Amino acid sequence: MFDSLKALPADPILGLGAKYKKDTNPKKIDLGVGVYKDEAGNTPVLNCVKKAEQHRLTTEMSKAYISPGGSPLFNTEMAKLIFGADHNVLAQDRARVISTPGGTGALRVAGEFIKSCKAGTTIWISNPTWANHIGVFTAAGLNVKTYPYYDYDNKTLDFDGMLNAFKNVGSDDVVLLHACCHNPSGMDLNKEQWQQVADVAKTVGFTPLLDMAYQGFGTDLDEDAYGLRLMADAVEEMIICSSCSKNFGLYRERIGACTIIGKSSTAVDLAHSVLLYNARVIYSMPPAHGAAIVETILTSEELREEWYGELKDMRDRISDNRNLIVEKLIENGVTQDFSHISRQSGMFSFLGLTPEQVQQLQDDYSIYLIGSSRMSIAGYSKDNVDYLAQSIAKVL
């Protein structure tokens, strides 16, 4: 059976990481991997997480399975985090949440759920988008198409192209939107643009799928969810995939959530039963440890406040790094305009380099980023930003 298989290419980001590890240059910089790093280049365990884990260590009494839906307390707290405690969909009992193996697990369950609603459904994703979106939804049997999003020439949002595309999608289609901190461009919708998109979604009747992997990494927890909450007010049905990997630093614990909004409490209960079935046949039961950490933090006033502070520190460092690289490029005589980096938000931005220049950065200066020139803003520090800016100036 295996003889018919052909080797598939490795994920470009994972392959880049392997090359970085083998590089012996002491000045090497990894701008490819999408995890938060501190000034020392580490991805730390948050102090609030350590305290929550200690609490779990002393109070956990069993390692028995939890249900396919996960911890009810985690699901309740995630709903409040996503929507805010007083949102209409919660007051109307129109939302249901299940915990999933990370944000990717949430997306895959969502894909299977969409297929259960209608086989062969078309899902529209932004151009560009997180590369794994295509693989996840294709594997779920959906028809994947793209809509315009990022204007590479002007380094801004192609909002007119995006909105025109939405006016022409089918009413049975699904449109995936990044709730905040767009990966890979860092270019987000403003409030007025979110309102226009919500109006079009309501008029056309397509189902929005909001991917919120970076809540709290943009402006703050509430502002980053502005578009999602606005959309939830505008439409009758919606899907949300969220992740605790970034804002809680729980990457390897693989905990996220898939949330569905229905037309009524009764309608969403029926949809929830299908969502639970999809989860059951994919991975059976979700992981419990990460969910227990999150629910412990969110239900403790002390730990929640500590989390707010640690999340703000990460967010501020990313914002400072955006301004820092722009300043250093100017200091090194770069005349090309990189101010778009300062105007964007979240973990990523496009440098706007050619694939050949990206390769030169890797070959000559041991600076690693993928061919599109998407870089992780948290990947450099005050100690090596001068070297990074000097190297970019040279390849330019």
Give the model confidence (pLDDT) of 330-354 as tens digits.
999 999 999 999 999 999 999 999 9
pLDDT exceeds 90 at position 13: no
pLDDT exceeds 90 at position 387: yes
Give the Cα separation of 189 and 177 in Å (integer). 10
Q: Is 202 noted as a catalytic residue in this protein?
A: no
Q: Clarify whether residues 244 and 338 are in a common domain.
A: no
Q: Clarify whether residues 259 and 351 are in a common domain.
A: no
CATH of the domain at 390: 3.90.1150.10
Q: Clarify whether residues 155 and 273 are in a common domain.
A: yes
Domain tally for the chain? 2
Residue 154 inside a domain? The answer is yes
Q: Clarify whether residues 29 and 106 are in a common domain.
A: no
CATH of the domain at 210: 3.40.640.10
Q: How far apart are the first and last CA of the chain?
A: 50
Of the residues 299, 325, 357, which one is the last residue of a structural domain?
A: 299
pLDDT average, residue stretch 348-377:
96
Average per-residue pLDDT for the chain: 96
User: Which residue segment(s) compose the domain that 119 sits in?
Assistant: 65-299
pLDDT exceeds 80 at position 386: yes
At 12 the pLDDT is 76
pLDDT average, residue stretch 159-188:
97
At 373 the pLDDT is 95
**Tally of CB atoms within 10 A around 86:** 8
Q: Clarify whether residues 36 and 184 are in a common domain.
A: no
348 — phi, psi (to 5°)?
Answer: -130, 160
At 15 the pLDDT is 80
Residue 327: pLDDT band (50, 70, 90) is very high
At 326 the pLDDT is 98
Of the residues 272, 299, 326, which one is the last residue of a structural domain?
A: 299
Tokens 């990189």, residue located = 338
Give the Cα separation of 292 and 74 in Å (integer). 7
Q: Is 130 noted as a catalytic residue in this protein?
A: yes
Residue 304 inside a domain? The answer is no
pLDDT tens column, 269-316: 999 999 999 999 999 999 999 999 999 999 999 999 999 999 999 999
Q: pTM of the prediction?
A: 0.96
pLDDT exceeds 90 at position 358: yes
Q: Clarify whether residues 16 and 109 are in a common domain.
A: no
Q: Clarify whether residues 31 and 127 are in a common domain.
A: no
Residue 353 inside a domain? The answer is yes
pLDDT exceeds 90 at position 392: yes
Q: Clarify whether residues 84 and 221 are in a common domain.
A: yes
37, 51, 155, 246: the catalytic one is 246
Residues 6+ apart with CB under 8 A from 370: 12, 13, 16, 32, 358
Residue 103 inside a domain? The answer is yes
pLDDT average, residue stretch 8-14:
78
30, 158, 211, 224: the catalytic one is 211
Residue 15 inside a domain? The answer is yes
Q: Clarify whether residues 21 and 92 are in a common domain.
A: no
Residue 369 inside a domain? The answer is yes
pLDDT exceeds 80 at position 10: no
Q: Clarify whether residues 247 and 333 are in a common domain.
A: no
pLDDT exceeds 80 at position 133: yes
| Beta-carbon-side half-sphere exposure of residue 29 (alpha carbons within 13 Å) | 27
Residue 20 inside a domain? The answer is yes
pLDDT above 90 as % of the chain? 96
Q: Clarify whether residues 353 and 279 are in a common domain.
A: no
124, 130, 194, 307: the catalytic one is 130
Residue 51 inside a domain? The answer is no
Give the Cα separation of 113 and 275 in Å (integer). 6
Q: Clarify whether residues 40 and 71 are in a common domain.
A: no
